[in-house]
Amino acid sequence: MSSQPYPAALHQSSTQSRTLISQNGQNTPTGGGTPNSGTGAPELDVRQQLLNYQKMFDQAAYPFINDASAYEKLSKIGQGTFGEVFKARCKSTGRMVALKKILMANEKEGFPITALREVKMLEQLKHPNIIDLIEVCSAKSSAPATKDRTTFYLVFSFCEHDLAGLLSNPKVRMSLLHIKTMIKHLITGLNKLHRSKILHRDMKAANVLISREGVLKLADFGLARPFVQRENSNVPRALYTNRVVTLWYRPPELLLGDRSYGTKIDVWGAGCIMAEMWTRQPIMQGDTEQRQLQLISALCGSINQEVWPNCVKMPLWNVMSSDTNTPLPQGKKRVLRSKLRHLMRLDGPDGRSQSDPYGKGKPNEHLPADFKDDDAMNLLESLLAIDPDKRPTADEAEDDIWFYKEPLPKANVQDLMDTIPTSQFEYTVGKGAHAGRGRHHNNQPRPNQAQRQSNAIPAGQYRDTIF
Ligand SMILES: Nc1ncnc2c1ncn2[C@@H]1O[C@H](COP(=O)(O)OP(=O)(O)O)[C@@H](O)[C@H]1O
Ligand SMILES: [Mg+2]
C-alpha cells in the first residue's frame, strides 16, 4: 500500500472517478495517478482503478473501530430510509444497543460522507434528550453477493419505543402530564441541538425515541447539518437544500422553496409532533407539496402577507400563488385551536381536561377540577406559526409558561413505560407502525391509509387525513 494516508487516497479516488467518467457514462482514461504508483498510468482502466480502491477498502484494518462481533444481533427493529436497524446485545457488558447499518450506496467512494457527518455531529451532542452514539463498528459481510465487503454500523444505546409506534398503540394511554413531560424533553433536546449550531431537518414522531426509563431522545441525524449563524445581515445567508424534512412535517417556508432557512424549520416539526400527542396521528398528511400547503392553509389559515410579510420573497411564491388550482387558497381562517380543543378535550363536558382521543381512559384525576389548559394550546399555536420569524426559538419554547404551571413536567415518564408490557418493537414489528409510519421521505409514496371511520385507530395505521 502506498505511503499516502488511506483516507486521502480514497478521497482522491472519488474525485478522480468523477472527472474520468465523461457525460455519456463512457470511461475516459486520462493521466491520473493510481493508488499505488502515485506517478500516473495514463492507460489504466478506470473501472480497474475503482476495483483496486474497493479492494483496499475491504482489506483495510480499522484499528480504532470495534468489530461488530462484539454484539449479538437479536432482531431487526427498523427498516429506515437509509438502512436497517437491529436490536443487539453487547457480549461483554450485556448492554442493549441498536445497530444502525450504514448504507454504502456508492461503496467505491468509501465511508459515506453523510454517515461521517452524522457521527461527527452525534459526537458533540451528548445530552439526556439526544440519542447516545456509543461507537461505530465494522463487520465483514458474509452474504454471497457482497462477500468480504466491509459493513459499518452506528451503535446507539437502545430505546424501547419510538413515539410513532407508541402513539399508534391504542393501549398506551397518556395523561396530560405524560404529554407535557415528553414535549418538555423534546424541546430541551432541540434547544441543545440548536445551541450546538445543528439543524435536525427530519423532525417527526418516528425519529423520537423513548427509553425504558421514560426519557425522550431525539434520534436520526441522517439529514442533520451544521449551520452558520450570521453575525450581521450584510453577510449573505448560506443556502441549503430544501429537499429535507418528511412532507407531513415540512414547514411552509420549505414548501415555498426557501433555501436560507434556519432553526425554525425544526420548531414547526416540534409543533406537528406536539399536536400528534393528542391526535395520535400526523396532523397534516399531504401527498404532494401542493396538497401539503393546502392542508396547512386549511388548519393554520391562509398564507399571505398579512400573517407572514416575507412570504412574497419565497422562491416559489409566484409559481404557487398564480397556479389556477392554487395551493395557497386565500380566505381560510386559522382553525387549529378549535379543531384541537375538541381532540384535546380541553373543553370537555365536565370542564375537566383530558387527553384521551380514544375516549376510553379516565380523565386526569390528578388535575384540579377547574383545570383549563389554554397554555398548552398557546404554545402549540406559536410553534405552528405560519411565519417562521413568529415561531419561538427552542430556547424560548423551553421557557414557556406551560412548563411552569401545575402539573409540572417530571424527570421522566417511567410510570407510562411501566404500563406497556412489551417493547414497542415486539408489538409492531412487521405490522406497519414500524414499517412505514411517517417515515417516508420527500416524494416517496405515502403508506396506505385507513379510511376515516371511528375514533379507534387500528394499531400501526392512520385514519385518513382529518384536518
Ligand atoms: N437507538 C435506538 N433504539 C431503538 N430503536 C431505534 C434506535 N435507533 C433507531 N431505531 C428504530 O429504527 C428506526 C429507523 O432509525 P433511524 O435512525 O430513524 O434511521 P432512518 O434514517 O433510516 O429513518 C427508528 O424509527 C426506530 O424505530
Ligand atoms: Mg428515521
pLDDT in tens, 69-97: 999 999 998 876 667 899 999 999 999 99
CATH dotted code for 68-158: 3.30.200.20
Domain ranges (residues) in the chain: 68-158, 162-437
How far does residue 102's CA lie from ligand 2's centre (Å)?
A: 13
The pLDDT score that the predictor gives to residue 186 is 98
Contacts of residue 327, Cβ cutoff 8 Å, sequence gap at least 6: 289, 290, 291, 293, 294, 297, 320
Greatest mean pLDDT range, 71-75, 318-322, 323-327, 356-360: 71-75
Ligand at shortest distance from the CA of 87: 1
Ligand at shortest distance from the CA of 77: 1
Q: Is the CB of 253 under 6 A from ligand 1?
A: no
102-106, 188-192, 266-270, 325-329: which has the minimum mean pLDDT? Answer: 102-106
pLDDT at 381 over 50: yes
Question: If pLDDT is split at 50, 70 and 90, which confidence band does 47 have?
Answer: confident
The pLDDT score that the predictor gives to residue 323 is 72
pLDDT in tens, 140-160: 877 777 677 788 899 999 999
Q: Which residues are annotated as a binding site?
A: 100
Give the atom of ligand 1 at the shortest distance from the alpha carbon of 159.
3
The pLDDT score that the predictor gives to residue 421 is 73
Q: Is the CB of 161 under 6 A from ligand 1?
A: no
Counting ligand 1 atoms within 8 A of each CB, the residue from 74, 75, 76, 77 with the most, and so the one to mutate, is 77
The pLDDT score that the predictor gives to residue 364 is 47
Ligand at shortest distance from the CA of 425: 1
Counting ligand 1 atoms within 8 A of each CB, the residue from 81, 95, 100 with the most, and so the one to mutate, is 100
The pLDDT score that the predictor gives to residue 276 is 95
Q: Is the CB of 434 under 6 A from ligand 1?
A: yes
Question: If pLDDT is split at 50, 70 and 90, which confidence band does 127 have?
Answer: very high
User: 285 with 461: CB under 8 angstroms?
Assistant: no
User: Which residue owns the Cα nearest ligand 1 atom 9?
Assistant: 85
Q: Which residues are annotated as a binding site for ATP?
A: 100
pLDDT at 374 over 50: yes
User: Which residue owns the Cα nearest ligand 1 atom 5?
Assistant: 159
- 104 vs 274, more confident: 274
- 145 vs 38, more confident: 145
User: pTM of this prediction?
Assistant: 0.78
pLDDT in tens, 331-346: 999 999 988 876 665 5
The pLDDT score that the predictor gives to residue 424 is 54
What mean pLDDT comes out for the span 412-419?
95
- 456 vs 398, more confident: 398
Across all residues in the chain, what is the average pLDDT?
77
How far does residue 54's CA lie from ligand 2's centre (Å)?
A: 29
pLDDT at 448 over 50: no
Indicate which residue of 132, 162, 202, 400 is catalytic: 202
Question: Could you tell me what percent of the chain has a pLDDT over 70?
Answer: 68
162-437: CATH architecture: Orthogonal Bundle (1.10)
pLDDT in tens, 188-217: 999 999 999 999 999 999 999 999 999 999
Q: Is the CB of 209 under 6 A from ligand 1?
A: yes
CB 23: neighbour CB atoms within 10 A?
Answer: 6
Question: If pLDDT is split at 50, 70 and 90, which confidence band does 454 have?
Answer: very low
Counting ligand 1 atoms within 8 A of each CB, the residue from 82, 84, 85 with the most, and so the one to mutate, is 85
Q: Is the CB of 207 under 6 A from ligand 1?
A: yes
Question: If pLDDT is split at 50, 70 and 90, which confidence band does 17 have?
Answer: very low
Contacts of residue 75, Cβ cutoff 8 Å, sequence gap at least 6: 86, 87, 425, 429
The pLDDT score that the predictor gives to residue 399 is 98
pLDDT at 284 over 90: yes
What mean pLDDT comes out for the span 373-383?
92
Question: If pLDDT is split at 50, 70 and 90, which confidence band does 57 have?
Answer: low
Verify whether residue 202 is a known catalytic residue: yes
